[in-house]
Structure 1
Amino acid sequence: MGVAGSGKTTVGPLLADRLGVTYAEADDFHPPANIAKQAAGIPLDDDDRAPWLDAIGAWAHDHAASGGVVSCSALKRAYRDRLRAAAPGIFFVHLAGSRELIGDRMAARTDHFMPLSLLDSQFAALQPLEDDEAGVAIDIAAGPEDIVRRAVEAVPGAGHP
């Protein structure tokens, strides 16, 4: 989980590979209208996100026994609660970083529909993990391999090396 540009699409497949499980990219669950809205610089609202979160939750539920990693912003507690309702054992890895670092990363990428102009709305919506939520926050200032190592160490039952 994390704001746009935090590295979910980079870290997610690496983490899934390290854990030996399937990976899914949450952006692939968006209906075309959501992608068009974001590409136009319009933030999604809760109504836009509801079917998207339900589709991700269904995927997580279907992969609960075999394991899986899905990248998803999951910015608000209510979104994570919705995902937990579908997949009760879900564990969140919050890729946390400064607005400046993430803004620099977003400005450098050219292959994503999410414009830099929406980053402030992402940070405004972000509700960090609370103490009663299964998950860990990892600073993204480190490289992807270090982030993955720290995530594997945190994931319950991951067979820590």
Structure 2
Amino acid sequence: MTTTCLVVMGVSGSGKSTVARMLADRLGRLMAEADEFHPASNIAKMESGFPLNDSDRAPWLRSLRDWISEQDAAGISTVVTCSALKHRYRDALREASARVVFVHLDGSRELIAGRLQGRSGHFMPPSLLDSQFADLEPLAAGEDGIRVDISATPEAITDTVIAAFD
């Protein structure tokens, strides 16, 4: 039996960690933060204000894909946070043995920039937000997933996601 991995995606500051934690708690699923899969060199690059490129992201995405497959092999459905900004990044995650479904947390640049200004303790500086929006390729027709507007509360967003996949 194939399990399901909900990948909560979007630009930095869209609320991925908050919504993913709520989904994992309500659905009784194991959760992983994709940020924890980054090698130290990626984190250092972002902390220095430089955006990651595709070759920086490739081993990170493979590591995350392999973790999803390991959980699937154990019969465990999961929730993962991952920016998954480009189609090819999502394609890499879809190589996992589990069914991978994307939940795109979508909002305006202004709303997200305001959230980033109030956030501390994260290695992703607000100065990289424009590069994230430049890389963002919204879910395309045929991609397994939904888009959710982030102007609602995290609780309402979580309710929307759960209702979409019931």
TM-score range, shorter chain: over 0.9
Which residue in the other structure is 2:110 paired with?
A: 100
Q: Quote the Cα distance in structure 2 between the aligned partners of 1:87 and 1:128.
A: 23
Aligned length: 156
Offset at 1:88? 5.0
Work out which of the residue numbers 12, 27, 50 in structure 1 matches 2:20: 12
Amino acid at match of 1:52: W
Whether the 8 Å contact between 2:71 and 2:77 is mirrored in structure 1 is: yes
Name the one with the larger strand percent. 2
Which residue in the other structure is 2:164 paired with?
A: 154
Tell me, which stretches of 5 or more residues in structure 2 are unaligned?
1-8
Whether the 8 Å contact between 2:37 and 2:63 is mirrored in structure 1 is: yes
Offset at 1:86? 2.1
Q: Quote the Cα distance in structure 2 between the aligned partners of 1:153 and 1:25.
A: 23
Offset at 1:111? 1.4
Which residue in the other structure is 1:24 paired with?
A: 32
Kindly provide the CA deviation profile for residues 1-27 of structure 1, in whole angstroms up to 9, marking residues without a partner as x: 000000011111111111111000110
Q: Quote the Cα distance in structure 1 between the aligned partners of 2:70 and 2:151.
A: 33
Tell me, which stretches of 5 or more residues in structure 1 are unaligned?
none
Work out which of the residue numbers 46, 50, 56 in structure 2 matches 1:42: 50
Work out which of the residue numbers 64, 77, 84 in structure 2 matches 1:67: 77
Q: Which runs of 4+ in 1 moved over 4 A?
A: none
Offset at 1:61? 1.3
Amino acid at match of 2:140: E
Offset at 1:153? 1.3
SS in structure 2 at match of 1:91:
strand
Q: Could you state the TM-score of these two structures normalised by the residue count of structure 2?
A: 0.91
Which residue in the other structure is 2:5 paired with?
A: none
Q: Quote the Cα distance in structure 1 between the aligned partners of 2:97 and 2:85.
A: 17
Question: Greater CA deviation, 125-134 or 56-65?
Answer: 56-65
SS in structure 2 at match of 1:44:
coil
Kindly provide the CA deviation profile for residues 60-92 of structure 1, in whole angstroms up to 9, marking residues without a partner as x: 112233200010000000000011012451000
Which residue in the other structure is 1:140 paired with?
A: 150
Amino acid at match of 1:154: A
Q: Quote the Cα distance in structure 2 between the aligned partners of 1:67 and 1:150.
A: 19
SS in structure 2 at match of 1:95:
strand
Aligned identity (percent) is: 55
